[in-house]
Structure 1
Amino acid sequence: MRLPPLNALRAFEAAARHCSVYKAAQELHVTPAAISHQIKALEEHLGVALFKRMPRRIALTPAGEACLPKLTAAFAQMADAVAAAQHLAHAGRLMLSVPPALASKWLIPKLAGFRDRNPDLDLRISARQTLVDRARGELDQGANLLEGGDVAIRFGDGDYPGYVVHKLFDSYALPMCSPRLLEGTNPLRTPDDLRHHTLLHYENDIAMVDVGRPNWTSWLKAAGVRGVNTRRGPTFNHVTLAMQAAADGLGVVLGIPIMAVGEFAEGSLVAPFPLSLPTGASYYLVYSRENQDEPSVAAFREWILAEARAEPWAEPPQVPIAFAAVPDFGG
């Protein structure tokens, strides 16, 4: 017997399982009209009606009821077969999706340690700006949190139902500048000295990314400083550009310390004041429950959580650090 087209069988199985052409169309990412066309073609091929058409709903005929359980089992077996093939194809490989700034400024400088511990693991890194949560609606519409990766690092609120989630560290904003600004005619000694220096700003191209992030107005208010024009100074479209400008001595930026670990270590940036403000989001390691026991996922999870725990800039400083390249948290 010549089998009907697979697409027609898939359309029928989805519509029968949901008892809805509309829901089947949503699941298969086609139009309801396309589902109806495939079902009609299948019925013509078999010479039997599979559905009773009624106002506002459909119901299975005896022939449809006879087909559905075995077709559902058959598609489940095919899905298992594909998953098994993919598992073998991906054995020894780990795809990581990560926001670009965190990848370049924090993750990549540390990867040599991971490679030394896992020399046979094929690590592939995809830097995607979409891993910065812009709006809850993006996630509520069924977007893939992993962006095609086995694991992902997301910057957001950590509310990712159905996934395994580990917080890496909070994000906070802290003034930072070149150590040259701690000297000279108007050295930075107190927050009030900022009135004599250029303030650097950044605004992301996508406005939703900046929602809740502190700016110079909110920081100076928290520091008790008045009378400073916070609109002066150049604006960049990315935090790393503004931080590079600060390292080059162009002014003072309200930067993200986790993005400046290398600059703090080498001394091109310092944090003149300990007052920090939360950005309203954190970095999270995310992966599916189905992958949590995979050796490659477990290896990366163990390594990155240890790195996050050991990161001195993971927590806001609590003591003055004006002349320190590395934070001292006082034990």
Structure 2
Amino acid sequence: MSSTHANVRRLPSLNMLRAFEAAARLRSVTRAAHELSVTQSAVSHQIKGLEEWLGVALVAREGRQLALTPEGAAYLPSLSSAFDLLADATERIGRTTRRRTLTVNALPTLAAQWLIPRLAGFCAQVQDADVQLATTVSVLDFVPAAFDVSIRCLSADELAMLQARPGWRGVRFGAFLPDALTPVCSPALLARSPALRKPADLARHTLLHSRSTPLVWRDWLAAAGVGKLRPAAELGFDHAHLAVQAAVQGMGFALGNPDLVADSVAGGLLAMPFSAWTTHEKEFYWILAERSAQDADALAFCDWLQASGRTG
């Protein structure tokens, strides 16, 4: 016989061993059947099969109680220890492979331009948590408890209004990034427009609008002192990040957040010709649901947002 075959373990079936161990430990076929979620006859059948396999009697009846033979009594401690070892090993494997889930809800533009490009950094920092990111266009109509962390762009008045709602008791929040806005365009478009020196010069160009933020161009132009400006053309998109993407393609001027488009500017995809005219009326806030206030992953995500916002 080869050494490989000589080392093969000779063992009865696991079902036989489990039935005997449970019945012997509980001193009852009935209680063993309940623990194993099988019938009493199934337990008795498995014990009888084990006895036949071993060639020795393991149990005996003493009235209504289950008694163990000397062989059965000697077998039980080792068998129970073996099952304890199996249970512990299985639990350890479960703990190491069981991953946690962190649900995050954010606005589409922040998610596309800023959060997703940086999210790998958080995932590397907290490796046992899977982030599920959902986007929404709803700024004020939401329930914090629906997600572990929500991210919204809010003015001070909007935040105060939300905090006054009944569902906001115990909700934590923190500002981590300014919502500043300035016109952005492709460097190629800027190169073709040498006379573009002041906001009034935008009258000769196409303005790219977002239907999710329909008033931002009006407000920016008013702040820049050209509130009555009429552009050469206008194009509309569902979300601000789509308008910015159109600007990358040279289709016109969009309003972008300098922090959100910093990577595109550094990569030569966008230019900010009027950075001196930048409006800043709101902040991006992380909003931590009360149910997540003690969750280590949610707290780590909020800390990561704060640190990432400070560094851009």
Relative distance call for 1:110 and 1:222 in structure 2 (3 A) is same
In structure 1, runs of 5+ residues without a counterpart are 1-89, 312-331
Rounded to whole Å, the distance in 2 between the matches of 1:266 and 1:179 is 11
2: distance between equivalents of 1:282 and 1:294?
24
- In terms of Rg, which structure is larger? 2
Deviation readout 1:3-54 (Å, 9 max, x if unpaired): xxxxxxxxxxxxxxxxxxxxxxxxxxxxxxxxxxxxxxxxxxxxxxxxxxxx
Aligned length: 204
Q: How does 1:112-191 map to 2 (within 5 A)?
A: 112-130=120-138, 132-133=139-140, 138=141, 144-146=143-145, 148-156=146-154, 157-159=158-160, 160=163, 161-162=168-169, 163-184=171-192, 186-191=194-199
TM superposition shift of 1:202: 2.4
**Contact 1:100–1:128 (CA<8 Å) still a contact in 2?**
yes
Q: 1:284 aligns to what?
A: 285
Q: Which residue of 1 aligns with 2:111?
A: 103
C-alpha separation in 1, matches of 2:254 and 2:309: 24
Residue type of the partner of 2:265?
Answer: F
Q: Determine if contact 1:158/1:282 at 8 Å carries over to the other structure.
A: no
Normalised by the length of structure 2, the TM-score is 0.58
Identity rate of aligned residues, in percent? 31
The 5 Å alignment of 1:1-150 reads 92-130=100-138, 132-133=139-140, 138=141, 144-146=143-145, 148-150=146-148
* 1:187 Cα deviation from its structure 2 partner: 4.1
Offset of residue 186 of structure 1:
4.0
The one-letter amino acid of 2:131's match is: L
Q: Quick one: distance in 1 between partners of 2:296 and 2:246?
A: 42
**Contact map agreement 2:205 2:233 (CA 8 A) in 1:** no
Over 6 Å off, 4+ runs = none
3-state SS of paired residue (1:101)? helix
Given the alignment of the two structures, is residue 306 of structure 1 paired with residue 304 of structure 2, yes or no? no
Aligned match of 1:220: 221
Report the CA distance between 1:151 and its aligned residue.
Answer: 1.4
Change (3 A) 1:198 1:186: farther
Q: 1:249 to 1:226 in 2, by over 3 A?
A: same
Match of 1:270 in 2: 271
**Are 2:206 and 2:251, in contact at CA under 8 Å, matched by a contact in 1?**
yes
Deviations 1:238-287 (A, max 9, x none): 21221111111111122333442332221111110120123x44321111
Shift of residue 293, structure 1, vs aligned partner: 2.4
Contact 2:108 2:241 in 1 (8 A): no
**Counterpart residue type for residue 130 of structure 2:** D
Q: Which amino acid aligns with 1:269?
A: L
RMSD: 2.5
In structure 2, how many angstroms separate the alpha carbons of the residues matched to 1:284 and 1:308? 10
Distance 1:169 1:144, change over 3 A: same
Q: Could you tell me the TM-score, scaled by structure 1's length? A: 0.55
CA distance in 1, matches of 2:176, 2:187: 29
Aligned-partner residue type, residue 105 of structure 1:
Q
Distance 2:130 2:223 in 1: 47
Structure 2 Cα separation of the partners of residues 226 and 92 of structure 1: 50
Letter in 2 for 1:263: S
* Letter matched to residue 277 of structure 2: L
Most deviating of 99-108 and 187-196 = 187-196
Q: Is the 8 A contact 2:108 2:239 kept in 1?
A: no
Q: Once structures 1 and 2 are overlaid, which stretch shifts more, 183-192 or 224-233?
A: 224-233
CA contact (8 A) 1:182 1:188 kept: yes
